[in-house]
Amino acid sequence: MKIISTPLALKTYLKSIDKSIGFVPTMGALHEGHISLIKEAKKSNEFVVVSIFVNPTQFAKGEDLLKYPSDELRDKKICEMSGIDVLFYPKAKDIYGEDEVSVLAPKIRAYILEGFTRPSHFNGVLSVVMKLLNIVNPSKAYFGKKDAQQLMLIELMVKQLFMDVEIIAVDTVRENDGLAMSSRNVYLSVDEREDALCISRSLNLASSMISKGIMDVESITEAMREFLTPLEIYYVEILSREFEKIPQVTIGKSIILVEVKVGTTRLLDNIWL
Amino acid sequence: MKIISTPLALKTYLKSIDKSIGFVPTMGALHEGHISLIKEAKKSNEFVVVSIFVNPTQFAKGEDLLKYPSDELRDKKICEMSGIDVLFYPKAKDIYGEDEVSVLAPKIRAYILEGFTRPSHFNGVLSVVMKLLNIVNPSKAYFGKKDAQQLMLIELMVKQLFMDVEIIAVDTVRENDGLAMSSRNVYLSVDEREDALCISRSLNLASSMISKGIMDVESITEAMREFLTPLEIYYVEILSREFEKIPQVTIGKSIILVEVKVGTTRLLDNIWL
């Protein structure tokens, strides 16, 4: 595995590679979810690039940028053992300059759900993803379904700006008890870890209602909200795959999204119906 | 010459071409300035694509979008006679959708000069240039030096977002009497056409002061302002090539920019020192 730290060095190196490139962008603190992205990338590409970059522009003031979990040695070992070809590990100054051109997220779909309480978040996400995609120029790039709104917005960016890359959505990986894998799970105390199980269980509750033929969005989300009490709920929504409001669930075309605060930690999860 | 009207058809066609592509994006109303861009593109590329698209997002309400000069037949004939390979002639609905991801121009350098009186202008310019560059994927793209701030911002976008294209700056073409070629010159009455000559003459005045050793920015711009009276002046500035304020002209590193209103028409010009 080659470790490269500047965009120019990576671009130059990758131009000498005549292979289909799969790309997995991450913010480090790697877990089974990331490993599953890497496995998917290795399946369909001759050459796999992983990036580790905790992107400052997607954190607002007061968010957890400074304490975001990081373990460089462990992350590098996981990449090495996953058999990737290149690890891109840039510094913020290699990615961002002064008075910059950036990407502006869409006015509606980036300001609901996550974007409602984190209004500049997706500008930062889309800007860094655009930069990374342009540096690596992969055939395929891999993103987790757990960050469903992020995934939808990246697919939108690629389509609307006519970018040349295929975005591959990869299923969420869960702990044995159902908790969705997240780098932020390390923030949870033992009690909070237990409380957090409500999230995936509320999604299971919704699934079982739907399997009984209850398709009404309001009834399902109300039951989920009740189940999630007393956690602080950011949102519980059932939307179309295009993230538009719907009155009824349609199998194959809907998504249930939930985010709550457990202690001081925001945790999100979703299921694609 | 092949005429193609949708992004997908153009992308598909260009992928079958194994040649270096030169790209000249225009808003139509073609004149000698555009022809000079095409000639430069033909010199250094095996295959030349020209686009004609009057980009709605770079016009604010009340600007001249609806009356922007257009002559489809004449423009197509000029492209044909210039020996280009593909003319891309899309409709707005092929380029823009709903609730879109777009490009956000830099907060400082896009809000001086042109951007001071047209605050959303460069967001629209950069968004459409990004889309067009991604659709055509050229080795080189050609822009006129007359729109100096636009050129600087496009170069900035390509660099900061790590895009894979070389931006080529082409010299301004002038009428015999010195007026810079512009699609908007057709708006001018005979008297206004005469008044407009002040613009290039004010730049000549600046040049001759500099050739006499007067390098002080304030003295030169003051003399230009006096010369341009009684036209309505939007700006007269001498800046570094990075568009930063400077006290003294440095040959090879400075640019003089001027924009005035003649009748109801905005006209701009500049010289690169």
Is residue A176 in a domain?
no
B74 with B124, same domain: the answer is yes
CA distance A93 to chain B (A): 11
* B245 exposure class (CB count in 10 Å sphere: 0-12, 13-18, 19+): exposed
Residue in B97, B104, B135 closest to A103 by CB: B104
Residues A118 and A188 both lie in one domain = no
CA nearest to A164 within chain B: B134
Q: What is the DSSP string of A65-109?
A: TTT----HHHHHHHHHHTT-SEEE---HHHH--SS--EEE--TTT
Q: Which two tokens stand for residue A102?
A: 């950036």
Q: Which residue has the tokens 């795959």?
A: A241
Percent of chain A with pLDDT over 90: 99
Examine the domain organization and report whether B164 and B189 are in the same domain: no
Q: Where are the alpha helices (DSSP H) in chain B?
A: 7-15, 32-44, 72-81, 92-95, 114-117, 121-136, 148-160, 190-195, 197-211, 217-228
Indicate which residue of A25, A34, A145, A228 is catalytic: A34
Detail the DSSP E strand segments found in chain A: 2-4, 21-26, 47-52, 86-88, 102-104, 140-144, 166-170, 232-240, 254-262, 265-272
As a residue count, chain B comes to 273
Count H helices and E strands in chain B, helices first. Answer: 10, 10
**A18: closest CA of chain B, how far (Å):** 16
pLDDT at A107 exceeding the cut of 90: yes
Q: State residue A104's pLDDT score.
A: 98
Let me know whether B197 and B161 are in one domain.
no
The number of distinct structural domains making up chain B is 2
The model's pLDDT over A33-45, given as tens digits with 9 standing for 90+, comes to 999 999 999 999 9
Nearest chain A alpha carbon to B15: A164
Domain boundary among B118, B137, B170: B170
- With 0-12 / 13-18 / 19 or more C-beta atoms within 10 angstroms meaning exposed / middle / buried, residue B107 is exposed
Contact B99 A105 (CB under 8 A): no
Contacting residues for A159 by C-beta, under 8 A, at least 6 apart: none
User: Is-contact B146 B175, C-beta < 8 A?
Assistant: no
pLDDT attached to residue A123 = 98
Catalytic residue among B21, B23, B25, B34: B34
pTM, full prediction: 0.96
Please check whether residues A66 and A158 belong to one and the same domain. yes
Nearest neighbour of A101 by CB, restricted to B101, B105, B164: B105
| B177 is a domain residue | no
User: Measured at the alpha carbon of residue A40, what is the angle toward residues A34 and A41, in degrees to the nearest 5?
Assistant: 90
pLDDT digits over B180-193, tens only? 999 999 999 999 99
Same domain flag for A202 and A241: yes
Chain B touched by A111 (CB under 8 Å):
no
CB–CB of A101 and B102 under 8 A?
no
Distance of CA B66 to the CA centre of its chain: 19
**Structure-token pair, residue B195:** 């008044």
B92: chain A residues, CB-CB within 8 Å: none
Spacing of C-alpha B76 from chain mean position: 20
Domain termination residue (choose one: A124, A146, A170) = A170
Distances A99 to A133, A183, B107, B117, B156 between C-alpha atoms, Å: 21, 31, 6, 19, 10
Q: What is the DSSP letter of B252?
A: T
Query: Is A24 part of any domain?
Result: yes
Give CA separation, A145 vs A36, A63, A123, A168, in Å.
12, 23, 19, 9
Final residue belonging to a domain, choices B170, B193, B226 = B170
Per DSSP, what are the bridge partners of residue B239?
Answer: B245, B255
Contact list, A130 vs chain B (CB under 8 Å): 161
**Number of neighbours of residue B184 by Cβ within 10 angstroms:** 15
SS3 B20: coil
Residue A37 to chain B, least CA–CA distance (Å) = 24
Give me the residues of A, 146-175, that contact B with CB < 8 A: 153, 156-157, 160-164
Half-sphere exposure of B187 (CA within 13 A, CB side): 16
**Arithmetic mean of pLDDT over chain A:** 97
Q: How far apart are CA B256 and CA B264, in angstroms?
A: 23
Which residue range is the domain that position B250 belongs to? 183-272
Min Cα distance B213 → chain A (Å) is 33
B168 membership: H or E segment, kind and range? strand B166-170
B124 within 8 A of B58, measured Cβ to Cβ: yes
Residue B58 lies in a domain: yes
The owner of tokens 């799969």 is: A22
Which token pair is B99?
A: 């609730």
How far apart are the C-alpha atoms of A205 and B34, rounded to whole Å? 63
Cis status, amide bond into A230, omega within 30 of 0: yes
Q: Does B14 touch chain A (CB under 8 A)?
A: no
In a domain, B43, yes or no: yes
B139 in reach of chain A (CB within 8 A): no
Contact of A6 with chain B, judged by CB distance below 8 Å, is answered with no
In a domain, A175, yes or no: no
Q: A108 and B102: CB-CB below 8 Å?
A: no
Q: Is-contact B145 B170, C-beta < 8 A?
A: yes
Q: Which helix (H) or strand (E) segment is B18 a member of?
A: none
Same-domain pairing of A44 and A159: yes
Paired with A144 in beta bridges are: A170
Beta bridge partners of B50: B24, B87
Tokens of B227: 């010369």
Residues B56 and B131: beta-carbon distance below 8 Å: no
Over the stretch B104-136, which tens digit does the pLDDT of each residue have?
Answer: 999 999 999 999 999 999 999 999 999 999 999
pLDDT of A102 > 90? The answer is yes
Task: Say yes or no: B88 and B58 in one domain.
Answer: yes
Contact B106 A100 (CB under 8 A): yes
A146 and A263 co-located in one domain: no
> Is the separation of the CB atoms in B21 and B139 below 8 Å?
yes
CB contact under 8 A, B101 and A157: yes
Contact B84, B238 (CB under 8 A): no
What is the pLDDT, as a whole number, of residue B230? Answer: 84
What's the average model confidence in pLDDT over A199-214? 98
Using CA coordinates, name the residue in chain B closest to A130: B161
A161 is written with which tokens?
A: 């700006």
Name the token pair of B203: 């730049």
Query: Are residues B260 and B163 both part of a single domain?
Result: no
Active site residue B34: yes
The nearest CA of chain A is from the CA of B162 a distance in Å of 6
Same domain as A43, residue A72:
yes
Residue A23, strand partner residues: A49, A141
Whether residue A47 contacts residue A187, with contact meaning beta carbons closer than 8 Å, is answered with no
Q: Which of B256, B230, B240, B8 is nearest to B109 (CA)?
A: B240
Q: Is residue A115 assigned to a domain?
A: yes
Nearest to A67 by CA among A186, A240, A238, A170: A186
A135/chain B closest Cα distance in angstroms? 6
The answer to whether residue B4 neighbours chain A at the CB level (below 8 Å) is: no
Q: Is the residue at B176 inside a domain? A: no
Choose from A51, A101, A122, A133 for mutation: most chain B CBs within 10 A. A101
**Chain B residues within an 8 Å CB radius of A153:** 101
CATH number for the domain spanning B196: value is 3.30.1300.10
Q: Is the pLDDT of residue A230 over 90?
A: no
Are B239 and B150 in the same domain? no
Per-residue pLDDT of chain B (273 residues; tens, 9 = 90+): 999 999 999 999 999 999 999 999 999 999 999 999 999 999 999 999 999 999 999 999 989 999 999 999 999 999 999 999 999 999 999 999 999 999 999 999 999 999 999 999 999 999 999 999 999 999 999 999 999 999 999 999 999 999 999 999 999 999 999 999 999 999 999 999 999 999 999 999 999 999 999 999 999 999 999 999 989 999 999 999 999 999 999 999 999 999 999 999 999 999 999
Give CA B240 to chain center in angstroms: 18
Q: Which CATH number belongs to the domain containing residue A123 in this structure?
A: 3.40.50.620
